[in-house]
Copies of this chain bind each other. A is one copy, B any other.
Amino acid sequence: MNFGSDNVAGAAPEIVAALEAANRGAAMPYGNDAVTARLDKIFADLFEHPVAIFPVATGSAANALALAALTPPHGAIYCHAEAHIQNDECGAPEFYSGGAKLVPLGGKDGKLVPADLASALESAGIGIVHHVQPASVSISNETELGTLYRPDEVKALADVVHRYGLKLHMDGARFANAIAALGCSPAELSWRAGVDALSFGATKGGALAAEAVIFFDKTLAEGFAYRRKRGAHLFSKMRFVSAQLEAYVKDGLWLKLASHANATAARLAAGLARLPGVELLHPVEANEIFARIPERAIEGAFADGYYFYKRGDVNEAGARCRLVTAFDTRLEDVDGLLASLARHLGAGARRAG
């Protein structure tokens, strides 16, 4: 019963089945296959807009390649201090961009604030040769703290981004969770809100290894095919990556899977909120929960066979923990974890009593 991350889950059966189907017969390599050829239309329909789509196999590849396309080596990429690109990709964006600088900004619950972004850009020294030049802004939706930007919030940021001549990138490793939770259309949360490039994630949502870089302005994709090949992210048997993406969005599978993850997270969050001594640290809007939990309860739950991330920051009230649900999280495991925590908290309370 592993609540450590949504990438501890395997792959959805529909996607495995698609792999098997894609395995029939020969196919031209490097994306010149029939499945990959279909992706343009499939995603243009999904986003109600022409797109330039480039399948890759890791989220870091999607982010780093997309940001490199939007940012020159002497450029700056603005993001939240909690952003995955800033903290968890070992400098992949710097590597792919040729040494651009990431500029971390604050913001409640993992979300950038338009006014703060504007003042940061205002004082960045645009046009002054001594300073790296602001080129792009990257936001994650679902954010790294489990919260969501609404379309109008994205729009408000995009207005600042574009006013200063920058481009807006969205890290959509959990884009499905955001769409499923907000009930808006992919278009509303992306290009209509001002997103220029999207890292569309499928791996965390139920694929084996499939992501896509999506440009809504094809001129931004110039040279991108070479960047991807040069980064060694062009697959010879590309059909096996493309087939995952096709199956993932077919008949709304991606939203069905994400809705389940969101629903189990909601159930888990509600239960945690009722536990004495457990504190939710951020609004739970999709499939990630951040909570402060007394140490004894954490250890007890781990001993009972449950797992989730215990972060460094610890105080007398407990440790900051991250719990994530996935497309295949079982309700009984959610309830089991809640019961385990309750039992160990109660025991503690009794000992304290």
Interface of A toward B, CB cutoff 8 Å: 1-2, 4-5, 7-11, 16, 19-20, 22-30, 56-61, 63-65, 72-74, 87-92, 94-102, 123, 129-133, 203-204, 208-209, 223, 225-237, 240-241, 312
Contact present for A90 and B23 (CB under 8 Å)? no
Copies in the complex: 4
Q: Which residue of B lies closest to A58 (CB)?
A: B232
Q: Which residue of B lies closest to A2 (CB)?
A: B26
Q: Which residues of B contact A123 (CB under 8 A)?
A: 312
Q: Which residues of B contact A241 (CB under 8 A)?
A: 209
Contact present for A90 and B230 (CB under 8 Å)? yes
Q: Which residue of B lies closest to A125 (CB)?
A: B87
A209 is contacted by which of B132, B133, B229, B237 (Cβ under 8 Å)? Answer: B237
Query: Can you show 28 pairs from A to B with CB atoms below 8 A apart?
Result: A4-B29, A7-B236, A8-B29, A10-B22, A10-B24, A57-B209, A57-B235, A58-B233, A58-B235, A58-B236, A61-B232, A61-B233, A64-B232, A73-B94, A74-B226, A88-B130, A91-B99, A91-B132, A94-B94, A94-B100, A95-B99, A95-B231, A96-B232, A129-B226, A129-B228, A203-B237, A209-B240, A231-B232
Contact present for B27 and A11 (CB under 8 Å)? no
A204 is contacted by which of B19, B26, B236 (Cβ under 8 Å)? Answer: B236
Q: Which residues of B contact A9 (CB under 8 A)?
A: 26
Contact present for B7 and A16 (CB under 8 Å)? no
Q: Which residue of B lies closest to A23 (CB)?
A: B10
Q: Which residues of B contact A57 (CB under 8 A)?
A: 57, 209, 235
A16 is contacted by which of B23, B74, B90 (Cβ under 8 Å)? Answer: B23
Q: Which residue of B lies closest to A68 (CB)?
A: B73
Contact present for A129 and B237 (CB under 8 Å)? no
A240 is contacted by which of B11, B26, B29, B235 (Cβ under 8 Å)? Answer: B11
Q: Which residues of B contact A2 (CB under 8 A)?
A: 26, 28
Q: Which residues of B contact A30 (CB under 8 A)?
A: 129-130
A98 is contacted by which of B4, B8, B16, B98 (Cβ under 8 Å)? Answer: B98
Contact present for A89 and B232 (CB under 8 Å)? yes
Shortest 5 CB-CB contacts between residues of A and residues of B: A94-B99, A61-B232, A60-B232, A7-B236, A74-B226
Contacts A64-B232, A131-B87 hold; do A10 and B28 have CB atoms under 8 A apart?
no
Q: Which residue of B lies closest to A13 (CB)?
A: B23
